[in-house]
């Protein structure tokens, strides 16, 4: 029987010719990523070795990445202590894929991994972050795990007892209309699948819209596959994957490019006509509460967040800058911008996007997770509403359970910043795309 | 297993942001996380901190309990209070974390229970003694059984480590 992309990849990584759905596998791990929660992983890792005669050495320091992004620079002595502990561990273990708080190589983990060519097609990537799914955009089987699970990976170099998942095939055809972007596509998909619709499954993206989509957009849709419950969201690698890795990530060595079998068996196939999509809004307090923008337009917004691992790439910032250039963020609304990495920050400096955003009244913050999970900057007041290009709108997410978070694309965020209320960018008539 | 009282009833899609709000994520140690369990639910958090919730009490939840973030604190904070989670189903990462650290939980796809109900829990079923109804329990993922049998992922990994050649 034919195998899906995930089945083939996991079989290969497990040293088997076949992997049927439900088979219990122990694939080798090609990349294991953690951020500040690496402090807990270190703890659990040392506990594994406690009382044994073995020296606590990670299985392969070149396959471990540690990236500071959740609280940069540290907001408390506790966080600073966690970061210090990780720095010491990294030095002791000889881990070189380490991105400290720096204005050259720093950034959000899910941007750094692709940007530096750490992720390749065919890899098994695990991360102590639920949005590790992002890396499926480059043809990896990438998924989130907890800290104890990661400690086990650091010890053994493989992930124990994984069941090969069934796959939902999503086929997207048609060209996006003006002001409609990959974020709108994935919000629409989550609305259709529901927050648990893809639980314990992989999503595989196909169709001409995906083939024509730059890696930037693929990272957005795979990032948010998590919000339908998917274990992984994957774009099987193609010419664009190779272009990105060669030209943007500087990868020179051979790539393992393969696709699903032509007779692969999928649990379900969903078709989406991109040409019929409108800008979408995920309303409070679940990501699957998705509505076409017309049903949410006019809602007053006090804080707009542009950026994050979902939509903080250069093209995202440029879409917003183009809309905001020569205009002004409405009084009573604050626009916070979080580029996904410092490399992107530099690019947006050179392209003029940062200048246009700041001149319009935006506050450009340093790359990092920022307000997305309510731990660092940009908390909300009681009764306030935020509109964000991030990936979650759970109650309390932006630091206050008495506030609301709406999710949208960068174009909607920028258009709404001008009016101070949720606004359809198509109404602005500025060639907003 | 003894009778358990339902101390909190929740609906579907309870996220880890509800169980363990992001702003407490710098606290990582299992000994310290329990104080922040359901921190934004002042009443329930207050009872937990006042030790007014006996060990073995039940949280009854709907589908996709623990969806969202991978933060292990969401499982460790509940384990610290020795709570039992009976849910229609769990989010993937939460379920794995819970098994890895040995949080007591039951997948019970049809469960109906209200606060104050007394449940009798076994591996096969959950009997709501207050309503008189019985609900089948679903097995935990078979792939994880070896970890459960070893008493958690840390001892299981240690066993595998010690069986490797140096």
Could you state, in chain order, the average pLDDT of each consecutive group of 10 residues for chain B (166 residues)? 86 96 93 97 96 96 96 97 97 96 95 97 95 95 85 96 86
Nearest chain A CA: its distance from B20 CA (Å) = 10
Q: What is the pLDDT of residues B24-42, one digit of tens each?
A: 999 999 999 999 999 999 9
| Minimum-distance CB partner of A149 among B12, B96, B161 | B96
Whether residue A340 contacts residue A313, with contact meaning beta carbons closer than 8 Å, is answered with yes
A163: chain B residues, CB-CB within 8 Å: 141-143
| Minimum-distance CB partner of A47 among B71, B142, B154 | B154
Chain B residue nearest residue A200, CA to CA: B92
Compute the distance between CA of residue B135 and CA of residue B5 in angstroms, rounded to an integer: 16
Whether residue A391 contacts residue A407, with contact meaning beta carbons closer than 8 Å, is answered with yes
Compute the distance between CA of residue A324 and CA of residue A306 in angstroms, rounded to an integer: 12
Range of the domain at B20: 3-140
Whether residue A307 contacts residue A340, with contact meaning beta carbons closer than 8 Å, is answered with yes
What is the number of other CB atoms lying within 10 angstroms of the CB of residue A323? 27
- Name the residue among B64, B114, B54 with its Cα closest to residue B84: B54
> Where does A5-272 sit in CATH, by number?
3.30.499.10
pTM score, whole prediction: 0.96
- Structural domain contains residue B148: no
- Which string of DSSP letters, residue by residue, matches A362-425? -EEPPSS-TTTTTSSS-PPPTT-EEEESSS---TTTTS-TTSEEEE--HHHHHHHHHHTB---G
Q: Please report the pLDDT score of residue A225 as a whole number.
A: 98
Write phi, then psi, for A143 (nearest 5 degrees). Answer: -150, 160
| A110: contact with B, CB 8 A cutoff | no
B18: chain A residues, CB-CB within 8 Å: 394-396
| Minimum-distance CB partner of B160 among A156, A163, A375 | A156
Helix%, strand%, coil% for chain A, nearest 5: 35, 20, 45
- Structural domain contains residue B156: no
Q: What is the pLDDT of residues B119-143, one digit of tens each?
A: 999 989 999 999 999 999 998 887 7
- The alpha carbon of B134 is separated from its chain's Cα centroid by a whole number of angstroms, namely 20
Q: Please report the pLDDT score of residue A368 as a whole number.
A: 96
Domain boundaries, chain A: 5-272, 280-427
- Structural domain contains residue B145: no
| A195: contact with B, CB 8 A cutoff | yes
Compute the distance between CA of residue A29 and CA of residue A22 in angstroms, rounded to an integer: 19
- Within A132-265, residue ranges assigned H as helices are 147-156, 182-193, 208-211, 215-224, 239-243
| A212: contact with B, CB 8 A cutoff | no
What is the number of other CB atoms lying within 10 angstroms of the CB of residue A256? 12
| A229: contact with B, CB 8 A cutoff | yes
Nearest chain A CA: its distance from B154 CA (Å) = 5
Whether residue A420 contacts residue A333, with contact meaning beta carbons closer than 8 Å, is answered with yes
Compute the distance between CA of residue B5 and CA of residue A231 in angstroms, rounded to an integer: 33
What is the number of other CB atoms lying within 10 angstroms of the CB of residue B25? 26
- For chain B, the C-alpha Rg in angstroms (whole number) is 16
- Which string of DSSP letters, residue by residue, matches B97-125? HHHHHT-EEEE-TT----TT-EEEE-SSE
Nearest chain B CA: its distance from A289 CA (Å) = 12
- Name the residue among A235, A244, A225 with its Cα closest to residue A313: A244
CATH number at residue B27: 3.20.19.10
Write phi, then psi, for A396 (nearest 5 degrees). Answer: 85, -5
| Minimum-distance CB partner of B64 among A145, A195, A395 | A195
Q: At B157, which helix (H) or strand (E)? A: helix B153-163
Length of chain B as a residue count: 166
Q: How many structural domains is chain B composed of? A: 1
| A82: contact with B, CB 8 A cutoff | yes
pLDDT along chain A (433 residues), means of 10: 96 97 96 97 98 96 98 95 98 98 98 98 98 98 98 97 95 97 98 96 98 98 98 98 98 95 98 98 97 98 98 98 97 98 98 98 96 91 98 94 97 98 88 46
Q: Please report the pLDDT score of residue B141 as a whole number.
A: 80
Subunit contact B157:A286, Cβ cutoff 8 A:
no
Subunit contact A401:B15, Cβ cutoff 8 A:
no
Compute the distance between CA of residue A234 and CA of residue A223 in angstroms, rounded to an integer: 10
Q: Please report the pLDDT score of residue A431 as a whole number.
A: 47
Subunit contact A147:B21, Cβ cutoff 8 A:
no
Whether residue A147 contacts residue A155, with contact meaning beta carbons closer than 8 Å, is answered with no
Q: Please report the pLDDT score of residue A343 as a whole number.
A: 98
- Which string of DSSP letters, residue by residue, matches A247-311? IIS---S--------TTB--SEEEEEEGGG---EEEPTT-TT-EEEGGGTTT-B-SEEEEEHHHH
| Minimum-distance CB partner of B17 among A36, A52, A397 | A397
Subunit contact A375:B153, Cβ cutoff 8 A:
no
Write phi, then psi, for B138 (nearest 5 degrees). Answer: -90, 145
| B165: contact with A, CB 8 A cutoff | no
Compute the distance between CA of residue A239 and CA of residue B33 in angstroms, rounded to an integer: 47
| A56: contact with B, CB 8 A cutoff | no
From residue A350, alpha-carbon distances to A249, A324, A343, A353 in Å are: 19, 17, 11, 8
Please tell me if the domain spanning A5-272 has the same topology as the one spanning A280-427.
yes
Nearest chain A CA: its distance from B107 CA (Å) = 14
Identify the CATH assignment for A280-427 out of 3.40.1000.10, 3.40.50.300, 3.30.499.10, 2.60.40.10.
3.30.499.10
Compute the distance between CA of residue A38 and CA of residue A77 in angstroms, rounded to an integer: 16
| B52: contact with A, CB 8 A cutoff | no
Subunit contact B96:A145, Cβ cutoff 8 A:
yes
Which A residues in the span 386-405 are in contact with B, Cβ-Cβ below 8 Å? Answer: 392, 394-397, 399, 401
Q: Please report the pLDDT score of residue B166 as a whole number.
A: 67
CA-based end-to-end distance of chain A:
44
Q: Please report the pLDDT score of residue A172 as a whole number.
A: 98
From residue A292, alpha-carbon distances to A4, A228, A395, B104, B122 in Å are: 32, 18, 21, 41, 46
Give the CA count within 13 Å in the CB-facing half-sphere of B149: 7
Which B residues in the span 1-30 are in contact with A, Cβ-Cβ below 8 Å? Answer: 12-13, 15, 17-18, 21-23, 25-29
Q: Please report the pLDDT score of residue B144 as a whole number.
A: 84
Q: Please report the pLDDT score of residue A433 as a whole number.
A: 46
B153: chain A residues, CB-CB within 8 Å: 148-149, 151-152, 160
From residue A33, alpha-carbon distances to A25, A45, A72, A192, A347 in Å are: 20, 14, 17, 31, 25
């Amino acid at each position: 029987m034919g195998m899906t992309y995930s089945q083939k990849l996991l079989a290969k990584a497990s040293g088997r010719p076949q992997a049927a759905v439900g088979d219990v596998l122990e694939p080798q791990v090609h990349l294991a990523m953690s951020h500040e929660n690496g402090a807990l992983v270190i703890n659990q890792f040392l506990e594994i070795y406690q009382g044994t005669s073995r020296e606590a050495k990670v299985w392969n320091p070149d396959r471990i990445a540690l990236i500071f992004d959740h609280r940069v620079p540290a907001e408390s002595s506790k966080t600073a202590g966690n970061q210090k502990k990780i720095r010491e561990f990294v030095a002791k273990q000889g881990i070189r894929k380490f991105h400290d708080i720096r204005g050259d190589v720093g950034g959000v983990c899910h941007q750094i991994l692709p940007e530096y060519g750490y992720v390749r097609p065919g890899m098994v990537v695990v991360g102590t972050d639920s949005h590790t799914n992002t890396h499926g955009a480059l043809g990896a089987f990438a998924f989130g795990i907890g800290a104890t699970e990661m400690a086990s990976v650091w010890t053994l170099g493989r992930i124990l007892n994984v069941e090969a998942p069934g796959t939902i095939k999503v086929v997207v055809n048609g060209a996006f209309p003006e002001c409609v972007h990959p974020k709108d596509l994935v919000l629409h998909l989550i609305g259709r699948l529901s927050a648990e619709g893809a639980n314990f499954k992989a999503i595989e993206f196909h169709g001409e819209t995906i083939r024509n989509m730059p890696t930037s957009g693929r990272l957005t849709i795979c990032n948010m596959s998590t919000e339908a419950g998917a274990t992984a969201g994957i774009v099987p690698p193609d010419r664009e994957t190779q272009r990105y890795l060669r030209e943007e990530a500087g990868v020179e060595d051979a790539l393992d490019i393969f696709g699903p079998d032509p007779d692969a068996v999928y649990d379900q196939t969903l078709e989406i006509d991109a040409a019929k999509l409108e800008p979408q809004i995920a309303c409070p307090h679940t990501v699957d509460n998705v509505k076409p923008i017309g049903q949410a337009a006019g809602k007053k917004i006090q804080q707009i967040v542009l950026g994050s691992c979902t939509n903080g790439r250069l093209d995202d910032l440029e879409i917003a800058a183009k809309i905001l250039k020569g205009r002004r963020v409405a009084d009573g609304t604050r626009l916070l911008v979080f580029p996904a990495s410092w490399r992107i920050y530099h690019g947006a400096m050179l392209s003029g996007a940062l200048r246009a955003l700041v001149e319009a009244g935006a506050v450009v913050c340093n790359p990092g997770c920022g307000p997305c999970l309510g731990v660092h900057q940009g908390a909300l007041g009681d009764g306030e509403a935020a509109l964000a290009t991030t990936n979650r709108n759970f109650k309390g997410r932006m630091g206050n359970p008495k506030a609301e978070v709406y999710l949208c694309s960068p174009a909607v965020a920028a258009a709404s910043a001008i009016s101070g209320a949720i606004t359809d960018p198509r109404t602005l008539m500025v060639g907003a795309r | 297993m003894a009778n358990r009282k339902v101390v909190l009833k929740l609906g579907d899609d309870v996220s880890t942001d509800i169980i363990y709000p992001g702003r407490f994520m710098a606290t990582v140690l299992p000994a310290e996380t329990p104080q922040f369990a359901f921190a934004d639910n002042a009443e329930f958090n207050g009872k937990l901190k006042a030790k007014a919730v006996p060990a073995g009490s039940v949280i009854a939840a709907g589908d996709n309990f623990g969806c969202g973030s991978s933060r292990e604190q969401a499982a460790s904070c509940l384990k610290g209070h020795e709570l039992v989670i009976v849910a229609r189903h769990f989010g993937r990462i939460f379920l794995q974390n819970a098994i890895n650290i040995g949080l007591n939980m039951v997948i019970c796809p049809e469960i109906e229970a209200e606060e104050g109900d007394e449940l009798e829990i076994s591996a096969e079923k959950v009997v709501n003694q207050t309503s008189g109804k019985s609900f089948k329990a679903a097995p935990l993922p078979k792939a994880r059984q070896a970890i459960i049998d070893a008493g958690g992922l840390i001892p299981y990994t240690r066993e595998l480590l010690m069986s490797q050649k140096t």
